[in-house]
Structure 1
Amino acid sequence: MGRIGDNGRGKLIDAAFNCFAQFGYEKASSRLIAAEAGVALGLIHRHFEGKRGLLEATDIKYLEWARQRAQRGLPTLWGSGGDQQLSESDQLAIAYLQKAVMQPRPGSKELTQKWLEIATQDIIDAQKSGVIELHATPEQCARILLMLETGALILSDVGLDDPHTQKNDMLKAMSHIITPC
């Protein structure tokens, strides 16, 4: 996911996105975000009327990322399976959604609902194109995918699993509801 721009507004959105993905909404202070962006703290209020407005702008950035991935035929949450590695920006976007789900904050429900809509459509499109066969509804598949991914984050956070094992386990679990054609 590329940078939005070099102006103060774009720098703040990029920095907030990074901070919210890394620390969550509550722990990412306005001061931290401004410092990460290399701008004055007052620009947050000038451009966004506060941290909440900045959060709304970062949610829009995340949803644009998810839509672009879906339009390119790429899964919206966890890569495309197999041994393909996720880019650093994809990992950051995934962490952003995970934090919104795992650490509820303003707009978490709406962001998650919009992601589920995008992921469901992504699954429907893959089914229609003959790439996958479903053993559950597309909506159920999207919800299960989200639950698997957030569950993997919990295991990782407490040190019970490594990312490679998690990905293999998720692919195995998903194979019971989505089968490649």
Structure 2
Amino acid sequence: MQNPRATNDDLTAKARIRNAAMDLFAQFGESRVSLRAVAAEAGVTLGLVQHHFKTKAGLVEAVDQLIVDYFDAAVSSVPATGTPGEVAAARDAAVNAMLHANPAVVNYVRRAVLEPAETQLRLLESLVALTRREVGSLRDAGLASTTRRESTQIVEVLVRQFGELLLAPMIDAVWERVAGPGETRRPRLSITVQD
């Protein structure tokens, strides 16, 4: 799977600025990060940030698109071959691997979904649109049920792919309180796949 972020050596100034913004927004939240802080993190001038993105809203939009690109690349890396359950499980695994490899993506999505502000709701809308396209393509290919409501399938996919990682802080806190002697690692949660 191609990494939408790439490395700083391979990036234009615009991409370095966007990546620095994603890292800072993920760590501190969009409202607590100034364009000046993003410029400093990216090693560029404030004027260059404004040249490329105009405003903070423009920069947030670029970061949101990067997040969607991460998910799109993960899902697109899995061919639509096999049984519906196999395809869904493989796509979920690809998203899970991408999220584990990119903690800033997890933290950014956590903030956007769990602390929604008006600007952050656009990311959720984009992720829902991507999931709707993917569910539609699976339905068209005969790899997802067409008798079940598409809206239910979209919600199930998002819960499977985001659920554990978005709720990890709560799950870890609960695990610390319920784990028995010798249970050092919490089990992975599994949500059954329906077609």
- Give the TM-score of the pair, scaled to structure 2: 0.65
More displaced 10-residue stretch of structure 1: 124-133 or 23-32: 124-133
Q: Which of 95, 101, 105 matches 2:113?
A: 101
- Give the TM-score of the pair, scaled to structure 1: 0.69
Superposed, 1:98-137 pairs within 5 Å as 98-126=110-138, 137=149
Q: Which of 3, 8, 25 matches 2:6?
A: 3
Q: Which of 6, 19, 22 matches 1:17?
A: 22
Superposed, 1:140-151 pairs within 5 Å as 140-147=152-159, 149=162
Q: Aligned partners of 1:153 and 1:116: how far apart in 2?
A: 16
Q: Which of 66, 70, 85 matches 1:61?
A: 66
Report the alpha carbon displacement of residue 48 of structure 1 after superposing the two structures with TM: 1.3
Q: Aligned partners of 1:80 and 1:147: how far apart in 2?
A: 10
Q: Aligned partners of 2:105 and 2:120: how far apart in 1?
A: 14
More displaced 10-residue stretch of structure 1: 62-71 or 48-57: 62-71
Question: Number of aligned pairs?
Answer: 171
RMSD: 3.7
Name the structure 1 match of 2:169: 156
CA 118–43 in structure 1, closer or farther in 2 if over 3 Å, else same: same
Q: Does 1:72 align with 2:77?
A: yes
Which whole-Å deviations, capped at 9, do the CAs of 1:13-46 have from their partners, x for residues lacking one? 1111222223221123323322221112232222
Larger radius of gyration: 2
SS of the residue corresponding to residue 131 of structure 2 reads helix
C-alpha contact 2:74 2:98 (8 A) present in aligned 1:
no
C-alpha contact 2:16 2:42 (8 A) present in aligned 1:
yes
